[in-house]
Amino acid sequence: MKLFNLLKRKISEVEEKTKAFLKGEVILDDKKLDELFSGFEIALLESDVALEVSEKIIADLKESLHGRKIKQGEVENLIRQSLRSSLREIFPPKPAKLVELVRSKKPYVIAFVGVNG
């Protein structure tokens, strides 16, 4: 769960950064978004997220927030919604058809792999 703890911490840091430069309503431009997410991509990489995935997450976040007029209290929800949307796009939920797969091929091998092997 290292990834999720680090993500929570980094999202909190982004929120703190916004408090520093958000006074009233602000339109998020490239410069402000770069400042907001400066350490976020590094945090993703340090949490063993693939480079392509971390770049996509950051790009999706910036795309969804770019040009939006936001208030100080809205940032957390906007970031979480955008992050959730990006992750759903990267990992789309697929219904498991395990019973059909098992019937289609005999023997059907299922391997469980964990951190200890």
Establish how many alpha carbons lie within 13 A of residue 18's alpha carbon, considering only the half-sphere containing its beta carbon. Answer: 26
* Domains parsed from the chain with CATH numbers: 2-104 (1.20.120.140)
Q: What is the pLDDT of residue 71?
A: 76
Q: Which two tokens stand for residue 74?
A: 């809205």
Phi, psi of 110 (to 5 degrees): -120, 120
pLDDT tens series, the chain, 117 aa: 565 777 777 777 777 776 666 667 778 888 888 887 877 888 788 777 888 988 998 898 889 888 888 776 777 777 788 888 888 888 887 777 877 877 887 787 888 887 775
Q: Which residues of 65-80 are buried (b: 16+ CB within 10 A; e: fewer)?
A: beeeebeeeebeebbe
Residue-level pLDDT at 22:
66
pTM of the model: 0.66
pLDDT at 54: 87
